[in-house]
Each structure stands twice: as structure tokens, then as C-alpha cells.
A and B are shown apart, each in its own frame.
Chain A
Amino acid sequence: AQTVTQSQPEMSVQEAETVTLSCTYDTSENNYYLFWYKQPPSRQMILVIRQEAYKQQNATENRFSVNFQKAAKSFSLKISDSQLGDTAMYFCAFIVNYGGSQGNLIFGKGTKLSVKP
């Protein structure tokens, strides 16, 4: 079975500080893509960052970066200089592509992040 585990249901961080959200996943496939999505109270799921499993270099997107450990099947998200607008549910997800036939996202249950002023 292909699963994603987010072990931190809730986290909080002070504004301007750094926080790391954990994610582990399980798949027997070698080719896949990993994603972090953010879902604020507005409900809109927004892509934060994506990582191709074949790339060793960790993806970075402004204040957001990942620590991708393929052997450990770990994909954590680091948010630097946290802002009030970062308050949201964060979902870790991956896609395993069976020869281009499917490609649905497999999601974790999410981490609720609160940024405090």
C-alpha cells in the first residue's frame, strides 16, 4: 500500500521563526514526485513546493525548502521567517506514475500550523 504519514497533527510557531513539518511516505516504486500543499481556511489547496524523486538536490521556493531523504522515505518542509499568512493546514502528497496511466495524488492527513504574532 502507498501511504503518507504526517506525525504532527498540530504545530505552532512564533512569527519570524523557523518551523519544520515532518512527512514520511511508503512506496515500492522508484519514480515519483513529492509535493507540499497548503490549505488556508479559504479551503483553496495551494501548491507550496514540489520535488522530483530522481533529483538529489533539495527543492527551494523562497522561504520554503524541503529536506528530501529518499532512502529514509522522508520529505520534511522547512518554513523560514514564518509569517501570519502561513497559518494553514499543510498536506504532504506524492504521485507514483504507472507508465502515465494514473497519477492521482496520495495525501497525508495534514498538519495544522498556527503562526502566532
Chain B
Amino acid sequence: GAGVSQSPSNKVTEKGKDVELRCDPISGHTALYWYRQSLGQGLEFLIYFQGNSAPDKSGLPSDRFSAERTGGSVSTLTIQRTQQEDSAVYLCASSLAIGYETQYFGPGTRLLVL
């Protein structure tokens, strides 16, 4: 596609429920990144993929968070048993490759946990 797309745009859920956030990167981009943007916390790196592989998962805030990427394209970020502190905007970005390449961002998913 022309740009990075994310769905849903907004998600409201109840505490304890699971949510799935989707990212569709720019066609041909092998690298994909997830960031979280919280009020007062700035932008926090969560995880990256090179192809379908995520070599470093240490940025994920807890074991309730997981991510996968299939076919070197679409990625899903899953949050299990959501907590109120998970409320944030989740941004996805893609780039041609890992390294110094410019990252292009999607519009984000705003998650609100009640």
C-alpha cells in the first residue's frame, strides 16, 4: 500500500480482556517496529521484526504483551488481560531494512482500557 496502515483506529476495552492490534507495513519493507506513546512517557520502543523474526523482545513491558509477524508483512500486537496502564497510542513503523533506514509510521491505534 501507499503507507503504513493500522487497525483499529481506536479501541475501548474492559480491564482483563485481550486485544489485538494490527499493522500492515509499506510493501517491500522488511523491518517493522512497534512503539507505545503514553501521556507523560513519550515514545517507548516495544519490539522490532526483521522479516518474521523478532530477535529482541526485551522492550515488551510484560509477558502479557506478545507480537508476531507472518509472511514478512502484517504484524499483530496482542495484549492479554489488559490493565488500565496499557492505555496508550500504539504506533507501528516500517523501513526498508533494519539499521539507519528511515522509519515510516502508521496513524496508530488508541487503546483505552476501562
Contact with B along A87-106 (1 / 0, CB 8 A): 00001010101001111111
Which residues on the B side are within 8 Å of A35 (C-beta)?
A: 102
Residues in chain A near residue B106, CB distance under 8 A: 44
Tell me if A105 and B45 are in contact (CB < 8 A): yes
Instruction: List chain B residues, Cβ under 8 A from A106.
Output: 45
Interfacial chain A residues near B110, Cβ < 8 Å: 43
For this complex, into which size category does the number of interface residues on chain A fall?
20 to 34
Alpha-carbon distance between A37 and B108 when the two chains are bound, in angstroms? 15
Residue with the greatest number of chain B CB neighbours at <10 A, chosen from A101, A104, A107: A104
B71 interface hit (Cβ, 8 Å): no
Contact B100 A95 (CB under 8 A): yes
| Residues of chain B from 9 to 43 with CB closer than 8 A to chain A in the complex | 31, 33, 35, 42-43
Bound-state CA distance A95–B56 (Å) is 16
Contact between chains at B104 and A97 (CB < 8 Å):
no
Across the interface, which residues of B come within 8 angstroms of A97, CB to CB? 99-100
Q: Chain B 61-93, CB within 8 Å of chain A: the 1/0 string?
A: 000000000000000000000000000010101
Q: How far is the CB of A73 from chain B (nearest CB, A)?
A: 18
Given contacts A100-B99, A103-B31, 6 further A-B contacts (CB under 8 A): A37-B105, A44-B108, A47-B104, A102-B56, A104-B45, A107-B42
A residues in contact (CB < 8 Å) with B: 33, 35, 37, 42-47, 50, 52, 91, 93, 95, 97, 100-110
